[in-house]
A = this chain, B = another copy of it.
Amino acid sequence: MSESNSVLVGQKPAMNYVLACITLFHSGAKEINVKARGRAISRAVDVVEILRRRFLPDVKIKSVGIGTQQLPATNQPGATTNVSTIEIVLTKG
């Protein structure tokens, strides 16, 4: 899957990312990768649920994966901190 079909969910309102997904599907994408890390994980789930229940009921969840990413710690140079990640793959039939 091309990286251009990814939506990285951050701190903006969920509806911004819902609209990004709708735009991608309307422009012909068959598969979208919704990704988030840390506190934004709950928002990524909200985005997918709003998208499927309110806007595009024919979108299916292909897979949900969780993982851990190591990031450089902001307060200590050289140290790393772990952050949880989620990746939800959506397909439109």
Contacts and interface: CB of A to CB of B under 8 A. Distances in A.
Interface of A: 38-42, 45-46, 48-49, 53, 61, 64-68, 82, 84-86, 88
14 contacts: A38-B42, A39-B39, A39-B42, A40-B42, A41-B41, A41-B42, A45-B66, A45-B84, A45-B85, A46-B84, A49-B67, A49-B82, A53-B82, A64-B64
A68 B49 contact: yes
A38 B65 CA distance: 18
A88 to B, nearest CB: 7
B88 A49 contact: no
A66 B88 contact: yes
